[in-house]
Structure 1
Amino acid sequence: MTDALSKLLSTRDWLMADGATGTTLFNMGLQSGDAPELWNADHPDRIRTLYQGPVDAGSDIFLTNTFGGNASRLKLHDAQDRVRELNRLGAELGREVADKAGRPVVVAGSVGPTGEIMAPMGPLTHELAVEMFHEQAEGLKEGGADVLWVETISAPEEYKAAAEAARLAGMPWAGTMSFDTAGRTMMGVTSADMVTMVNKLAHKPLAFGANCGVGSSDLLRTVLGFTAQGPEIPVIAKGNAGIPKYQDGHIHYDGTPELMAKYAVMARDAGAKIIGGCCGTTTEHLKAMRAALEGTPTGPRPTLEQIAETLGGFSSASDGTGEGAPEARTRRRRRG
């Protein structure tokens, strides 16, 4: 049987994903330092509301509240023995919401980074990473997630470990990396590097791409880098709603719904097939994005100049690729 995401991808020119999980939960009262995943057990009604928002705004895909649901991150909250439970609950709540939507909506089981540095730079071995991701994947599978959604990854080794875990769980998956360091991930991966890596994976994702990062302009530059390689696998674009600014004791993102609507259309025209938002993206942004995607005819591939003029300038002069780009090793750094 064809999985739910592949079915949708085969019948549509584009799909809209969801927006920001963290931003929404903080607006609901989550405190800094708390584990959002505990709310899957403690505040299920709030998590249903979290999921219902993007569905009502027109999203075809929403991510579960399980981004930090691996043993390494949950250990910080003395909840490392609850990995399977919290992931199962997060997916079950999502399944409830999706099944009542009246249209096909994909429940994507969010799998974020472990928070550890992969060997040989750090202590996390490939085997341990696979074990952690596999445990999380089995919980999401039990809860009824349609697909695993690996996101905000920086290290290629961690991306590969997540791919192996998805294979062990017998689950389809999609995976994005965060290009937040002058067009590269924190561990030095470029857009071209990611396409090469994805093509070599034994258990390939249904879709791949970029999420989070610096701003929507930078993210679209990365998307152009993907599509320039001519990948056969669909591309994902999940950019932040503008740039974060600290105001009145809180982080606010300056991207308006109108700006994110323009971003969504440009992402589609740049070649992305799955388009959503990341940090700062609310249901109001999503509604505007959906309306723009439905109401704006497909246009030519945007240029870098058009992206900068429409969405704002880039955070760096280069996307990390091409002649004159800094060597990857200059982008590699330890978390201190």
Structure 2
Amino acid sequence: MPDPLSQLLASRGWLMADGATGTNLFNMGLASNVAPELWNIDQPEKVRRLYRDSVEAGADLFLTNTFGGNASRLRLQGAAHRVRELNRTGAAMARDIADAAGRTVVVAGNIGPTGEIMAPIGTLSHARAVEMFHEQAEALKEGGADVLWVETISSAEEFRAAAEAAHLADMPWCGMMSFDTAGRTIMGVTSAQLSALVERLPNPPLAYGANCGVGAADLLRTVRDFVASGNERPIIAKGNAGIPHLEDGHLHYDGTPAVMADYACLARDLGVRIIGGCCGTTPAHLRAMREALETRPAGPRPSLEEIAARLGGFSSVGNGSRESPLAR
């Protein structure tokens, strides 16, 4: 029996994913020095509200509050021994919300990077990375996640480790990198290299793409490169709601709901199949995105000039693979 995400992708031209996790939990009172995953136990009603807000805003897919739920990152909070508890609980709450939606809503078990640098540059071995990702994946599976959602990865080595963990857990998965350094990840991976990498994996993801990064315009420039690669695997775009600015000691994103609605339609017209938001994206942004996707007719594939004009330009001249004349 195909998984729910594969079924939706087979029947729909596009799907809308959710928005930010951290931004929305901070708005509910999460302190910056507290791991969001701890709220799965300590503030479950607020986490349920996060999930419910996404579904009510129209998301077809939403992420569990488990981005930093691996042993390495939880160790910083003295909670490395709570990986199974926090991930299983986060997924189980999401399962309840999805099942009550009255329509098919996919629970994506969120897995972020370990926070360590992999060998040979760093000290994290492939085997240990797989072990940590697998521990998290099994807990998310136990809690009821439909797919694993691996995101914000910066190195090919860590991407491979997450893929192996998904295979060990016998779970379908999606994989994203964050291209935030002139069109490359912080470890130097280009969009073209990611497109090639996913096809070389023994168990390629259901869909792949980019999340977070600098801003929505930069992310869509990366998406254009995915399309140009010739890789026909479904593409994911989960861009930030504009650029963050520090105001009164807090980060605020300058992307309005109207801008994110434009971003969503540009992504659809590029051929993106799963469209969502990342940092700064609130339910208000999601509602505007859903309305735009449903009411605005599809258009031709947008040019870089159109993307820059509608979303505010690019943060760098280069896109990591070749030079572009368009800069912020």
TM-score (norm 1): 0.96
| Structure 2 SS opposite 1:77 | coil
Which whole-Å CA distance do the structure 1 matches of 2:140 and 2:77 have between them? 20
Aligned to 2:220: 220
Aligned to 1:173: 173
Aligned to 2:162: 162
Q: CA deviation at 1:231?
A: 1.4
Which whole-Å CA distance do the structure 1 matches of 2:198 and 2:156 have between them? 10
Query: Is this contact kept in 1: 2:174–2:208, CA < 8 A?
Result: yes
Q: CA deviation at 1:232?
A: 2.0
Aligned to 1:115: 115
Q: CA deviation at 1:52?
A: 0.3
Which whole-Å CA distance do the structure 2 matches of 1:178 and 1:113 have between them? 11
**Number of matched pairs:** 324
| Counterpart residue type for residue 83 of structure 2 | V
Aligned to 2:242: 242
Aligned: 1:30 with 2:30: yes
Which whole-Å CA distance do the structure 2 matches of 1:311 and 1:239 have between them? 11
CA deviation profile, 1:202-259 (whole Å, cap 9, x unmatched): 0110000000000000000000000111212100000000000011111000000000
Query: Is this contact kept in 1: 2:154–2:177, CA < 8 A?
Result: yes
Which whole-Å CA distance do the structure 2 matches of 1:89 and 1:4 have between them? 21
Aligned to 1:141: 141
Aligned to 1:328: none
Q: CA deviation at 1:271?
A: 1.4
| Structure 1 SS opposite 2:273 | strand
CA deviation profile, 1:64-114 (whole Å, cap 9, x unmatched): 000000000000011101101110000000000000000000000000000
Which whole-Å CA distance do the structure 2 matches of 1:7 and 1:232 have between them? 17
Aligned: 1:79 with 2:79: yes
| Counterpart residue type for residue 293 of structure 2 | L
Aligned: 1:264 with 2:264: yes
Aligned to 1:312: 312
Which whole-Å CA distance do the structure 1 matches of 2:98 and 2:230 have between them? 33
> Gaps (5+ residues) in structure 2?
none
Question: Which stretches of structure 1, 4 residues or longer, exceed 6 Å deviation after superposition?
Answer: none
Aligned: 1:93 with 2:111: no
Task: Indicate how the Cα distance of structure 1 residues 103 and 47 shifts in structure 2: closer, same or farther if over 3 A, else same.
Answer: same
> Gaps (5+ residues) in structure 1?
325-336
Which whole-Å CA distance do the structure 1 matches of 2:307 and 2:253 have between them? 19
Q: CA deviation at 1:33?
A: 1.4
Aligned: 1:70 with 2:70: yes
Which whole-Å CA distance do the structure 2 matches of 1:219 and 1:132 have between them? 28
Which whole-Å CA distance do the structure 2 matches of 1:322 and 1:290 have between them? 33
Q: CA deviation at 1:135?
A: 0.1
| Structure 2 SS opposite 1:272 | coil
Which whole-Å CA distance do the structure 1 matches of 2:316 and 2:50 have between them? 34
Which whole-Å CA distance do the structure 1 matches of 2:25 and 2:275 have between them? 21
Which whole-Å CA distance do the structure 2 matches of 1:175 and 1:94 have between them? 20
Query: Is this contact kept in 1: 2:175–2:207, CA < 8 A?
Result: yes
Which whole-Å CA distance do the structure 2 matches of 1:78 and 1:23 have between them? 23
Which whole-Å CA distance do the structure 1 matches of 2:323 and 2:224 have between them? 17
Q: CA deviation at 1:298?
A: 1.0
Q: CA deviation at 1:323?
A: 6.7
Aligned to 1:278: 278
Aligned to 1:185: 185
Which whole-Å CA distance do the structure 2 matches of 1:87 and 1:171 have between them? 15
Which whole-Å CA distance do the structure 1 matches of 2:241 and 2:305 have between them? 20
Query: Is this contact kept in 1: 2:317–2:323, CA < 8 A?
Result: no
Q: RMSD between aligned alpha carbons?
A: 0.8
Which whole-Å CA distance do the structure 1 matches of 2:269 and 2:156 have between them? 27
Aligned to 2:322: 322
| Pairing of 1:1-40 with structure 2 (within 5 A) | 1-40=1-40
Q: CA deviation at 1:16?
A: 0.1
| Structure 2 SS opposite 1:62 | strand
| Pairing of 1:35-74 with structure 2 (within 5 A) | 35-74=35-74
Which whole-Å CA distance do the structure 2 matches of 1:179 and 1:322 have between them? 14
| Structure 1 SS opposite 2:236 | strand
| Structure 2 SS opposite 1:251 | strand
Which whole-Å CA distance do the structure 1 matches of 2:126 and 2:115 have between them? 14
| Counterpart residue type for residue 55 of structure 2 | V
